[in-house]
Structure 1
Amino acid sequence: MKRAALAVVSVLSLTSALTACSGGEDTPSDARTTPKAKQITPAQRLAKAIVTEDDLPGYNVSELEAEYAFAKSSDEVTVDKPGCAPLAYAMNQLPLGEPRADLTRSAGAGYGKESIYITLASYEPAAEAESVLAGLAKAVRECGGGFTAKAGKNSTAYDSVTAEKGTAPGAVAFRATTPFRGITHTVRTQVVRDGDVLAVYFSVNGFAIADSRRPSDAKMPAKVVTAQNSKLAQ
């Protein structure tokens, strides 16, 4: 299936005292000045906030492998029901709306188990994140009958979309069913807002889908969601 830490260096510069030629008294330019610390960029902030293996013992946390991506960007995705596009983006590690920065990691607990994809995206202003989340909730309500998403040679049909209760206040959560080689698989998505950042969690059992011999019902590990939400709140 589908497959940085920030160091802010603050340099303090002291200005030398200037002495008047006649009396040797300090001039007003004697004052010391301290330059401002470097501004952290949205991308750097997300790199610092994303979970690592230290935050998730027992999980292998890695970068998304581009060759397994459904699409490189949301611009490549077409949906037979346009109103369902946010769902397709959320389930394929594509940012919702127009964030200032986004970052994705995958967390796997071992062979045969679910893989959880975590996408963080920051917005300006923070109200934009709230608006995007509301748009996703609307799509969940309106796309219960399913939809099909395509990107290049990739195509995924979702037979159903059902709202679920999230593990965090204000979260938007849903499950979707998708058939592959005649076998139905259930995947789960949860989106949580923390100020101007949205955390999108997508859980899928890629091993079962690749095996194509048994259905799968991917769960959303509370451990992963809690670890990432806690790190965002720091």
Structure 2
Amino acid sequence: MKRSALAASALTVAALAGLTACGGGDSETDAAGKPGTGATASKAEEVSPAERLAKLMITKADVGEYAVEEPSDEFVFAKSPDEVTLDKKVCAPLAYAMNQLPLGAPQADLTRVASKDGLNGGYTYVTLTTYEDGGAKSAMTGLSKAVASCGDGFTAKSKSGTSPYDSVTAEPTTKAGDESLAFKSTMTVLGTTHTLHSAAVRRDDVIAVYFSVDGRAIAESRPSDVKLAATVVEAQNAKLG
């Protein structure tokens, strides 16, 4: 099993435990019905939302000793926001942020997981999303509202099981991008408490969401409190501009 798979599987274990004109020569076709050369050149230069995120996402070259991998989807809590139900609807953005699901209605999203010491050092997940005009601001507003409204916890459910979060607390964060926020949450698994840290940064119409977890500690019923990897967060924020 890949190392990133273990982190995801541990959260699932926790859940199961109770937890798309017309015009001149630059248009699609010219007056004779032939492809316009201007349109061809323009299309060749277009970058899709997904391609844009791929260029913005950190790689191992950006974070030194950290490995950067594509997370396994074998043990995910949910594959889309539609698969998640909440006892408190306002808390939905929190559940999405902590389970690598996109906030709001993005054009594209992309997730990677970074680790330095493998199974012993915890994982920092990075999820990038890009939006049409106004969508990123709206998504950040919803997340901020959730942090302020869900202090006494909430419960998220999916086909994988149930994840009860005991508390949510805003945390100080270094200003980055156009707006940023951070929060921590706690959850109890088989009588053991785990603290999970998250942050979100918006730059124009792109949001980066960060989430840290010690999957091995959860699987082994050891208390955990893994902070976000500063090297990873700083490198990703720098790539956002």
TM-score (norm 1): 0.83
Q: Give the match's secondary structure for 1:163.
A: strand
Greater RCO structure (CA 8 Å; 6+ sep): 2
Structure 1 position 85, deviation (Å): 0.6
Matched, 1:116 2:100: no
Structure 1 residue aligned with 2:233, among 215, 225, 228?
A: 225
Structure 1 position 56, deviation (Å): 0.9
The one-letter amino acid of 1:197's match is V
Structure 1 position 68, deviation (Å): 1.9
Matched, 1:185 2:233: no
Matched, 1:2 2:11: no
Give distance in 2, aligned partners of 1:74 and 1:218: 25
Q: Give the match's secondary structure for 1:65.
A: coil
Matched, 1:90 2:97: yes
Matched, 1:158 2:165: yes
Bigger mean CA offset, 159-168 vs 174-183: 159-168
The one-letter amino acid of 2:54's match is A
Give distance in 1, aligned partners of 2:174 and 2:127: 17
Q: How does 1:1-234 map to 2 (within 5 A)?
A: 1-2=7-8, 35-36=41-42, 37-110=44-117, 111-125=119-133, 127-169=134-176, 170-212=179-221, 214-233=222-241
- Structure 2: segments with no counterpart, 5+ residues: 1-6, 10-36
Give distance in 1, aligned partners of 2:175 and 2:157: 31
Tell me which stretches of 4 or more aligned residues in structure 1 moved more than 6 Å.
Answer: none
- Structure 1: segments with no counterpart, 5+ residues: 4-31
1:146-177 Cα shifts (integer Å, max 9, x gaps): 01101113211100000001223431110000
Structure 1 position 35, deviation (Å): 2.8
1:106-125 Cα shifts (integer Å, max 9, x gaps): 00111311200100000001
TM-score (norm 2): 0.81
Structure 1 position 191, deviation (Å): 0.3
Structure 1 position 220, deviation (Å): 1.5
Q: Give the match's secondary structure for 2:152.
A: coil
Contact 1:146 1:157 in 2 (8 A): yes
Contact 1:129 1:198 in 2 (8 A): yes
Larger radius of gyration between Structure 1 and Structure 2: 1
CA RMSD of aligned residues (A): 1.5
Q: Give the match's secondary structure for 1:140.
A: helix
Give distance in 2, aligned partners of 1:80 and 1:62: 33
Structure 1 position 218, deviation (Å): 1.4
The one-letter amino acid of 1:35's match is A
Contact 1:167 1:222 in 2 (8 A): no
Contact 2:104 2:138 in 1 (8 A): no
Structure 1 position 209, deviation (Å): 0.7
Give distance in 1, aligned partners of 2:218 and 2:120: 10
Give distance in 1, aligned partners of 2:41 and 2:112: 35
Q: Give the match's secondary structure for 2:60.
A: coil
Give distance in 2, aligned partners of 1:131 and 1:181: 36
